[in-house]
Structure 1
Amino acid sequence: MAGQGPVTRTARLPGGPLLPYAEQGDPAGPPVVLLHAVADSWRAFEPLMARLPGTLHVLAPSQRGHGCASCPPQGYRPADFAADLAGFLDLLGIERAVLVGASSAGFTVRRFAADHPRRVTGLVFLGSPALLCDNPAAAALRESVARFTDPLDPVAVRALVESLPTRPLPPEFVDLMVQESLRAPARVWRDTLQGLLDETDLGGLDGVTAPALLIWGDRDGILPRADQERLAAALPRSTLLVHEGSGHVVHWDDPARTATDLAAFVAACAGPA
Structure 2
Amino acid sequence: MTVISLKSARVREGLTLPYAEAGYPSGTPVVFVHGLADSWWSFEPLLRRLPPALHGYAPTQRGHGDAEHPPDGYTPDDFAADLVAFLDAAEIPRAVLAGASTGGIPARLVAGSHPDRIAGLVLLGVPGTLADKPVPDTWRQTLDGLTDPVPRAFVEEFVTGSTTTPLARGFVETMVEEGLKVPAHVWRETGRGLLDADLGATLAGILVPTLVIWGEQDRFLTRDDQQTLLDAVHGADFLAYENTGHPVHWEQPERVVADIAAFAARIARPGTP
TM-score bracket relative to the smaller structure? over 0.9
Quote the residue 2:155 is aligned against: 157
Instruction: Indicate the residue corresponding to 2:80 in structure 1.
Output: 82
CA distance in 2, matches of 1:138, 1:182: 22
Aligned amino acid, residue 107 of structure 1:
I
Q: How many residues align?
A: 271
Correspondence for 1:10: 8
Q: Which runs of 5+ in 1 are unaligned?
A: none
Partner Cα distance (2:164, 2:62) in 1: 29
Q: Which amino acid aligns with 1:52?
A: L
1:108-127 correspondence to structure 2 within 5 Å: 108-127=106-125
Over aligned residues, Cα RMSD in angstroms?
A: 1.5
Match of 1:234 in 2: 232
Cα distance 1:210–1:49, how it changes in 2: closer, same or farther (>3 A)? same
C-alpha spacing 1:189/1:204, structure 2 compared with 1 (3 Å) = closer
Deviations 1:34-83 (A, max 9, x none): 00010000001111222221331100000000000011110001110111
Partner Cα distance (1:71, 1:106) in 2: 21
Distance 2:123 2:202 in 1: 17
Q: Of the candidates 141, 144, 159, which is equivalent to residue 142 of structure 2?
A: 144
Asked if the contact 1:102/1:128 (under 8 Å) is kept, the reply is yes
- 2:55 is matched with 57
In 2, Cα distance between the equivalents of 1:225 and 1:40?
A: 24
TM-score by length of 2: 0.95
Secondary structure of 1:117's counterpart equals coil
> How far, CA to CA, are the matches of 1:70 and 1:138 in structure 2?
27
Q: Is the 8 A contact 1:31 1:56 kept in 2?
A: yes
Q: Residue 213 of structure 1 contacts residue 239 of structure 1 at CA under 8 Å; is this kept in 2? A: yes
CA contact (8 A) 1:215 1:241 kept: yes
**Structure-2 separation of matches of 1:129 and 1:204:** 11
1:194 aligns with 2:179: no
Q: Give 5+ residue unaligned stretches, structure 2.
A: none
Within the alignment, does 1:271 sit opposite 2:269 as a pair? yes
Kindly tell me: are residues 113 and 171 of structure 1, through their superposed partners in 2, closer, same or farther at Cα, counting changes over 3 Å? same
Question: Mean alpha-carbon deviation: is it higher for 141-150 or for 245-254?
Answer: 141-150
What is the match of residue 17 of structure 2? 19
Question: How has the CA–CA distance of structure 1 residues 201 and 127 changed in structure 2, closer, same or farther, with 3 Å as cutoff?
Answer: closer
Task: Assess if the C-alpha contact under 8 Å between 1:206 and 1:236 holds in 2.
Answer: no
Give the conservation status (yes or no) of the 8 Å contact 1:99–1:120: yes
Shift of 1:206: 4.7
2:248–2:256 contact (8 Å) kept in structure 1: yes
Structure 1 CA distance for aligned equivalents of residues 176 and 120 of structure 2? 31
Q: Among the aligned pairs, what percent are the same residue? A: 47
Q: What SS is found at the alignment partner of 1:104?
A: helix
Inter-partner Cα distance in structure 1 for 2:57 and 2:136: 28
TM-score when scaled to structure 1?
0.95
Q: CA deviation at 1:237?
A: 2.4
Give the superposition deviation at 1:111.
1.0
Q: Residues of 1 paired with 2:210 and 2:128: CA distance?
A: 13
